[in-house]
Structure 1
Amino acid sequence: MNRHTLLADYIRNNPGAIGKVVDFDATHDHLFQPDLTAANNELTAELINNTGLFSQWVNHKLRDNNCRYGVGGYMEHRTIYAFSSHFDTGDEPRRLHLGVDIWGDAGTPVYAPLDGIVHSYQDNNHVGDYGPTIILQHNLNGLTLYSLYGHLTRESLHNLSVGMPISRNRQIAALGNIDENGQWPPHLHFQLMFDLEGRRGDYPGVCKFSEKEMWQQNIPDPGLILGFPDAVNAI
């Protein structure tokens, strides 16, 4: 049985073991799904190259659609990474997003959805990068799973230690602002991995589109853990 199937089976058979990543009340809160691909003609070069304007765009979309969070992006082929050389490579730029983004206000609490330990953490302080990042390690009945939380506040990295136990639904971080989160509109990059391949405090969150199938083998859909309802709108 492959690891994707094992993960899906664990989640289905242990619903009480799955907690929250952000505060969300399905009876009152709504989700907006932004389209960050080339199909969205609102994403001009002027917009994506100006973090302040990009933040205003995100905030307007959430407000106009009466949504608490924006959410989405797993395996989305995006144009927005053109603003930073961090995503450029010699032969093919990285444009395929590997995690799920949860767009919200700076300071929004972030929680551990599963029991685990702190695997590693660091401030990936480059334009377009994660900024402060935490990686947790989980043991799901013998299946090892890692969860990554990027674009956090720098304060989120205080008082952590490698191997520290983390319980389900414990607040571990908060969304960082533009000045500390890699110069992005405030949001959480949430990603799951079966294997970190020796990395610590960092793992690619964007890859080459031509390598999609390879990365999918190691990176399951974070929606399995999030369990969000469908977004109320797109674009």
Structure 2
Amino acid sequence: MLDKILERYQPFQPVVLLDPEIDRLLLMDFTERNTSLTPEIIDNTGLFSNYVDQLLKDHECTFGIGGYAEHRTIYSRNDHFSTAEEPRGFHLAIDIWGPTGTHVFAPMDGTVHSFRFNDAHGDYGATIILQHQLEGYTFHTLYGHLSLKDLEGLHEGMRVAAGQLIAHFGDTTENGHWPPHLHFQIIIDMEGKQGDYPGVCRYSQREQYLANCPDPDLILQLMP
């Protein structure tokens, strides 16, 4: 149902500003098919950041993009995703990889649902979740790996306007120790969670999570 509602309201305000005359997007693959992404690179935040930067430079792209419904290998880098018999590796969002400080905007009117500094290694780091309503239907958008300063002055229920600057790509010290990027996810039911919601699930649970987390490109409209 939400898919059809979002389709009726396209296009939304851009979440990340792109100049079609200058900025190019690189579709990035973080599955086992990408043999250039070695365990040595994955396990070292500095090497991983350099890898992403060099990949974008080599392809003359400003941003990298991808990841929705992608079964990834990069989550082997820490225990945050491996605390159960079946590790989590199925990605539920679209990632936009780019420079630290890149501006992040609200795609539509909403309110601040919750926010938190999820500081475990490999987690979201600074995180903001907005709540939206369209045609009486309530849903949420999650913005992960932000700058810590973006949480200052926020309060739950705070109104946010479409096109409003809400955040920036955080650096590795505040974004969960990842190369700078935005994790953008649509969530229908927050299931009582505040400031956090799984962005990666176990492969065996993918159907139930995909039902609650529709394709973010319904809002972004950036995927090729």
**TM-score strictly above 0.5:** yes
In structure 1, which of residues 215, 218, 226 is the aligned counterpart of residue 212 of structure 2?
Answer: 218
Counterpart secondary structure, 2:129: strand
Q: Which residue of 1 aligns with 2:156?
A: 162
Is contact 1:149-1:190 (8 Å) kept?
Answer: yes
Following superposition, the deviation at residue 89 of structure 1 comes to 2.9
> Which of 14, 26, 30 is matched with 2:9 structurally?
14
2:30 to 28, 36, 39: 36
For 1:82, the aligned partner's letter is S
The aligned counterpart of 2:137 is 143
Cα distance in 2, alignment partners of residues 91 and 114 from structure 1: 39
List structure 1 runs of 4+ shifted beyond 3 angstroms. none
For 1:125 and 1:143, the matched residues in 2 are separated by 32
Q: CA deviation at 1:229?
A: 4.8
Following superposition of structure 1 onto structure 2, how do residues 1-235 of structure 1 map, counting pairs within 5 Å? Answer: 3=1, 7-15=2-10, 18-230=12-224
CA distance in 2, matches of 1:77, 1:9: 26
Which secondary structure does the structure 2 equivalent of 1:76 belong to?
Answer: coil
Partner Cα separation in structure 1 for residue 103 and residue 150 of structure 2: 10
Distance 1:86 1:229 in 2: 28
User: Which consecutive residues of structure 2, in runs of 5 or more, have no partner in the other structure?
Assistant: none
Question: Residue 233 of structure 1 aligns with which residue?
Answer: none
CA-CA distance at 1:139 after TM superposition: 0.3
User: How far apart are the structure 1 equivalents of 2:158 and 2:80?
Assistant: 31
Structure 1: gaps spanning 5 or more residues:
231-235
Checking the alignment, whether the CA contact within 8 Å between 1:26 and 1:229 is kept in structure 2 is: no
Task: Report the Cα distance in structure 2 between the residues aligned to 1:111 and 1:130, rounded to whole angstroms.
Answer: 18
Give 1:14 deviation, angstroms.
2.5
User: Any idea what the Cα deviations from partners look like across 1:188-235, whole Å, max 9, x if unmatched?
Assistant: 0000011000000000000001111111110000011001152xxxxx
RMSD across aligned positions (CA) = 1.1
Partners of 1:34 and 1:170 in 2: how far apart? 28
Aligned-partner SS, 1:207: strand
8 Å contact kept, 1:73–1:97: yes
TM-score normalised per structure 1: 0.93
| 1:2-44 alpha-carbon deviations (Å, 9 max, x no partner) | x3xxx3333333236x111111123432101111001111111
Instruction: String of CA shifts for 1:162-191, please: whole Å, max 9, x gaps.
Output: 100000010000010011110000000000
Q: For the residues of structure 2 that align with 1:124 and 1:200, how far apart are their CA atoms?
A: 11
| Aligned residues of 2:7 and 2:218 also touching (Cα < 8 A) | no
Are the aligned partners of 1:47 and 1:54 in contact in 2 as well (CA < 8 Å)? yes
In 1, are the aligned partners of 2:3 and 2:214 still within 8 Å (CA)? no
